[in-house]
């Protein structure tokens, strides 16, 4: 194991190695960002729960207590409630996919991604429960078999065929979200499957208003739901189309240079117009689409690996597939379509004054950018398998001096003695004695992140002080 420490004064101890990398930007380090409070997140959470209550309240008002005497009545009521919940959750899911700026800033892409995953499972259960409960209830009332009742619904009720198709799409989206399934799916296939949620919204719209007991009659409830659909549709159009178009017309990003940081990692430098007017923070990411013949049809999320300086942007990418391999061949002048910035994995969203950053491999990229905006006294533990896997080494040493940051390079496999000793509660507390009074930012391979979270929790670090870099909707 190579174990090297660069302290706040720029002194190194341990075994040095000939790391590659581009010299640090010759710009003064930015001022530390002030912390942002949780007010926006709490307001959005309150709006969610109020909306859920408002979605179910019409059933409560319109259903007399003595109307639930029989089993079929109770099943029908449960089916209607789950239908209202499912309709509301579907609107919320599509809204979270809209990339609306207020949501991205208030919650961040990482938290939205986790909420989308968790709510997606609840939505799938609600849709299947809605369908099953009503089929059983109607079959009992009409004396049909379950299969016969399904046929009766498909042939005798308006817009029911599209509703069943929407349910099938929901199941497909839900299955593709299972972690083991998602790991084997190409990113683009998974991404486009999730875009089917828009089709679910459209296909499920008709039957809600032609057959829904609460939504069929004209009145404020029906009007409110239609307004909710229109607002969500407007959010999608704005977040997915209008805002990105404005951003790209304003800044007109182009590739300036592609630099090899290691045999399987590259940095892409971008230039454009009015870069000093982009409201971005170190640690945030964009969704990038490179408009050359081999890459234009794919959009992928990559973090910035340097804080904004008004002159250029940089993303550092590990080559892991066909698309990222093609990025090596980008020519200077290639146009770039970007959507963002997104994410709350930033210095501004910390809960404590000081921070510890733990990176693995190419996961150093967003942390490298964030280090420029953290207060003095931050600490970085950088895990890598070999010295060749350490990226941006010169820049990290520069930041260690400019920002009074302690940097530890911990080199070796997870089974080596050194890394095993460091990645324990005692090991972390030995390096960072005030660990419990710091926010901890993690970015790297899932194995390192999962292990680090376990160790941090065992050491007593509260969950709210642990920040993970995740992407994508």
Whether 116 shows a pLDDT value over 90: the answer reads no
Question: What is the predicted pLDDT for the residue at 32?
Answer: 57
What confidence category does residue 100 fall into, taking pLDDT thresholds of 50, 70 and 90? confident
Count of other CB atoms within 10 angstroms of residue 80: 22
Distances (CA, A) of 5 to 26, 404, 414: 23, 13, 19
Cβ-Cβ contacts under 8 Å for 315 (sequence gap 6 or more): 267, 268, 270, 286, 288, 302, 303, 304, 305, 365
User: End of a domain among 246, 271, 289?
Assistant: 246
Q: What does the alpha-carbon distance between residue 128 and residue 143 come to, in Å, rounded to a whole number?
A: 22
- Which letter, b or e, does each residue of 314-350 get, where b requires 16 or more Cβ atoms within 10 Å of its Cβ? bbbbbbeeebbebbeebeeebebbbbbbbbbbbbbbb
pLDDT value, residue 34: 61
- Judged against a pLDDT cut of 70, whether residue 16 lies above it is answered with no
Residues 242 and 334 occupy one common structural domain: no
In this prediction, residue 470 carries a pLDDT of 63
Are both 197 and 83 inside the same structural domain?
yes
If pLDDT is split at 50, 70 and 90, which confidence band does 313 have? very high
Phi then psi dihedrals of residue 381, to 5 deg: -110, 120
DSSP states along 16-47: ------PPPPSSPPPPPPPP--SHHHHHHHHH
SS3 315: strand
381 lies in the same domain as 423:
yes
Task: Judge whether residue 471 has pLDDT over 60.
Answer: no
Over residues 368-423, the pLDDT tens digits come to 999 989 988 999 999 988 888 889 988 998 888 888 899 999 998 877 877 888 88
What's the pLDDT score for residue 253?
Answer: 97
CA distances from 405 to 10, 88, 102, 266, 370 (A): 9, 47, 33, 25, 12
In a domain, 99, yes or no: yes
Neighbours of 377 (CB within 10 A): 16
Torsion sign, CA atoms 408, 413, 418, 419: positive
What pLDDT score was predicted for residue 140? 87
Give the burial class of 275: count Cβ atoms within 10 A of its Cβ; 0-12 exposed, 13-18 middle, 19 or more buried. middle
pLDDT for position 36 = 61
In a domain, 227, yes or no: yes
The CA-based diameter of the chain, rounded to the nearest angstrom, is 83
26: Cα separation from own chain's centroid: 32
Band of residue 68 on the pLDDT scale cut at 50, 70, 90: confident
Average pLDDT, the chain: 84
Query: For residue 437, what pLDDT is reported?
Result: 95
Note whether 277 and 380 are same-domain residues: no
Which letter does DSSP use for residue 263 in this model?
Answer: T
pLDDT at site 69: 74
pLDDT at 33: 58
Phi, psi for 380 (deg, rounded to 5): -130, 130
Residues 317-375 have pLDDT tens digits of: 998 888 888 999 999 999 999 998 888 888 988 889 999 999 998 899 999 999 989 98
* More confident position, 470 or 15: 470
* Whether residues 310 and 383 fall in one domain: no
Give Cα 360 to chain centroid, integer Å. Answer: 19
Domain stops at, among 183, 215, 246: 246
Nearest-angstrom CA–CA distance, 73 and 69: 7
237 and 152 in a single domain? The answer is yes
Residues 367 and 228 in one domain: no
448 domain residue, yes or no: yes
User: How would you class 14 by CB atoms within 10 Å of its CB: exposed for 0-12, middle for 13-18, buried for 19 or more?
Assistant: middle
Q: Is 368 among the domain residues?
A: yes
Q: How are beta strands 379-384 and 313-318 bridged, if at all?
A: unpaired
Q: Assess contact for 243 and 101: CB atoms under 8 A.
A: yes
pLDDT the model gives residue 31: 52
Start-to-end CA span in the chain (Å):
38
Task: List, for residues 135-149, the tens digit of each pLDDT value.
Answer: 999 898 888 888 888
Is residue 24, in this structure, part of any structural domain at all? no
- pLDDT per residue over 218-242, tens digit each? 888 889 999 999 999 999 999 999 9
The answer to whether residue 218 is domain-embedded is yes
Residues 335 and 356 in one domain: no
Q: Enter the tokens of residue 463.
A: 């969950």
What is the reported pLDDT for 37? Answer: 59
Same domain, 110 and 59: yes
Give 82-128 as a DSSP string. HHHHHHHHHHHHHHHTTT-HHHHHHTHHHHHHHHHHHHHHHHHHHHH
1, pLDDT greater than 60: no
The pLDDT assigned to 276 comes to 93
Residue 380 placed within a domain: yes
Domain check: are 178 and 77 in the same one? yes
223 and 262 co-located in one domain: no
Q: Please name the helix (run of DSSP H) or strand (run of DSSP E) that holds residue 285, with its range, or none.
A: strand 285-290
**Prior bond of 341 cis (ω within 30°):** yes
Q: Is the pLDDT of residue 277 over 90?
A: yes
Residue 230 burial (C-beta neighbours within 10 Å; 0-12, 13-18, 19+) = exposed
Instruction: Report the domain count for the chain.
Output: 3
Does residue 7 sit within a domain?
no
Q: Is the pLDDT of residue 38 over 70?
A: no
Q: How many CB atoms lie under 10 A from the CB of residue 239?
A: 20
How many CB atoms lie under 10 A from the CB of residue 34?
9
Domain termination residue (choose one: 302, 317, 342): 342
Which CATH number fits the domain that encloses residue 319? 2.40.30.10
148 and 98 in one domain?
yes
Altogether, the residues listed in the chain come to a count of 473
Question: Is 238 exposed, middle or buried, given 0-12, 13-18 or 19+ CB atoms closer than 10 A?
Answer: middle
The parent domain of residue 266 ranges over 252-342
Which residues are bridge partners to 268 per DSSP?
258, 315
The region, left, alpha or beta by phi > 0 then psi within -120 to 50, assigned to residue 354 is beta
Instruction: Identify the weakest region by mean pLDDT among 46-50, 84-88, 181-185.
Output: 181-185
The reported pLDDT for the residue numbered 28 is 42
């Amino acid at each position: 194991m190579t174990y090297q420490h660069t302290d706040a004064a720029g002194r190194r101890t341990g075994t040095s190695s000939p790391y590659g990398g581009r010299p640090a930007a010759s710009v003064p380090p930015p001022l530390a960002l002030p912390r942002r409070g949780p007010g926006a997140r709490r307001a959005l959470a309150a709006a969610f729960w109020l909306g859920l209550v408002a979605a179910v309240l019409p059933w409560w008002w319109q259903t007399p207590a003595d109307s639930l005497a029989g089993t079929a009545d109770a099943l029908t009521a449960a089916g209607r409630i789950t239908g209202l919940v499912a309709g509301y959750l579907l609107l919320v899911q599509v809204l979270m996919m809209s990339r609306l700026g207020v949501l991205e800033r208030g919650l961040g892409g990482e938290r939205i991604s986790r909420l989308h995953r968790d709510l997606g499972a609840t939505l799938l259960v609600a849709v299947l429960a809605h369908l099953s409960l009503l089929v059983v209830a109607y079959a009992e009332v009409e004396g049909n078999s379950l299969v016969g009742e399904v046929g009766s619904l498909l042939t005798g009720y308006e817009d029911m065929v599209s509703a069943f198709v929407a349910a099938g799409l929901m199941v497909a989206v839900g299955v593709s979200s299972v972690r083991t399934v998602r790991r084997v799916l190409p990113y683009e296939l998974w991404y486009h499957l999730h875009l089917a949620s828009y089709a679910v919204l459209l296909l499920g719209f008709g039957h809600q208003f032609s057959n829904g007991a609460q939504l069929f009659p004209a009145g404020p409830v029906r009007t409110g739901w239609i307004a909710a659909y229109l607002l969500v549709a407007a959010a999608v159009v704005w977040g997915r189309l209008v805002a990105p178009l404005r951003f790209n017309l304003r800044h007109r990003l182009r590739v300036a240079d592609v630099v090899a940081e290691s045999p399987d990692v590259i940095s892409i430098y971008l230039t454009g117009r009015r870069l000093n007017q982009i409201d971005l923070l170190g640690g945030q990411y964009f969704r990038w689409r490179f408009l050359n013949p081999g890459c234009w049809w794919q959009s992928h999320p990559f973090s910035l690996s340097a804080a904004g300086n008004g002159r250029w942007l940089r993303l550092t990418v590990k080559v892991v597939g066909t698309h990222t391999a093609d990025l090596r061949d980008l020519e200077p002048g290639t146009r770039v379509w970007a959507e963002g910035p997104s994410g709350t994995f930033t210095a501004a969203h910390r809960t404590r004054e000081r921070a510890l950053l733990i990176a693995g491999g190419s996961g150093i990229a967003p942390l490298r950018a964030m280090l420029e905006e953290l207060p003095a006294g931050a600490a970085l533990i950088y895990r890598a398998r070999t010295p060749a896997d350490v990226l941006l080494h010169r820049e990290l040493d520069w930041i260690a001096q400019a920002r009074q940051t302690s940097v530890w390079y911990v080199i070796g496999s997870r089974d080596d003695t050194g890394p095993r000793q460091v990645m324990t509660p005692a090991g972390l507390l030995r390096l960072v004695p005030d660990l419990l009074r710091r926010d901890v930012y993690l970015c790297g391979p899932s194995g390192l992140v999962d292990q680090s979270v376990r160790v941090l929790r065992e050491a007593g670090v509260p969950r709210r002080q642990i920040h993970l870099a995740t992407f994508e909707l």
